[in-house]
Amino acid sequence: MNLRPYLTRRNILYAVAGVFLLTLIYLGIRPDTISVEAAPVVRGAFEETITEDGVTRIREKFTILAPVSGVLQRVTTHPGDEIRSGQPVATIRWDYLRPVQAPAGGRVLRVLREDAGPIEMGTPIMEIGDPGSLEIVLDLLSADAVRARPGDIVRIQRWGGHTALEGKVRLIEPHALTRVSALGVEEQRVNALIDITSPPEEWSTLGDNFRVECTLILTREDNALKIPSGAVFREGDD
């Protein structure tokens, strides 16, 4: 059969256009494909955690106050200086030079009044404390605080060191405070007190009122069945 008369340029263009049109029709009527993400079901360690910012705090801080009204001599003690219990840390000229003694040993945390001059009784002069007795105050939502228990393990991160520290919940305070979040929403917050259980030499550079990030481990299972969260659907209350 001689097809040469049919293989004109016009007929070829018609054929190509017809194939293109049929392709468009097919693409328009075929059902949409659904992307499926596959993931294996495995067994391994599972942790339910809460991560919040915390602040370090020296457990026992002492504020040294002026015991009498008089003229304070210039304070020569500086933050970071080690002091002993009973050591004179300031002098007030009253009817005589009266030394102001430290009530406990430790380090000077802050000097609140350094310059010489008149001073009233009860005016704060400095704060002292032992940096080795640090604890962490962790700010929890009240709904999270009721699930935490003394003894829960805490991972302490983003504190400035190269490795994470370990801690343990000592106390969940029984009173909540109303605080306003960054979004302007009032929240009920509860303080959890954390003891640092890592060796002191690992966190010797931490001081009072330093920021840290704490991950509180609520539950942990070493041989839990783990599947992607997107593959789990709620049914009723379960």
What is the pairing mode between strands 165-180 and 88-93? unpaired
**How far is CA 149 from its chain centroid?**
18
Calpha distance 197→167 (Å, rounded): 5
Please write the tens of the pLDDT for every residue from 64-106.
999 999 999 999 999 999 999 999 999 999 888 899 999 999 9
Query: Comparing C-alpha atoms, which of 103, 105, 166, 156 is closest to residue 131?
Result: 105
| Number of residues that this document lists for the chain | 238
Statement: residue 199 has pLDDT above 60? yes
**What domains, with CATH codes, occur in the chain?**
46-58+132-231 (2.40.30.170), 61-128 (2.40.50.100)
The arrangement of strands across the sheet holding 82-83 comes to 61-65, 124-129, 106-111, 82-83
Residue 25, Cβ density class (10 Å: 0-12 exposed, 13-18 middle, ≥19 buried): exposed
Is pTM beyond 0.85? Reply is no
Cβ proximity of 154 and 168 under 8 Å: yes
**How far is CA 34 from its chain centroid?**
40
Calpha distance 136→82 (Å, rounded): 23
Calpha distance 136→154 (Å, rounded): 11
Cβ proximity of 176 and 190 under 8 Å: yes
Please write the tens of the pLDDT for every residue from 132-182.
899 999 999 999 999 999 999 999 999 999 899 999 999 999 999 998 888
Residue 163, Cβ density class (10 Å: 0-12 exposed, 13-18 middle, ≥19 buried): exposed
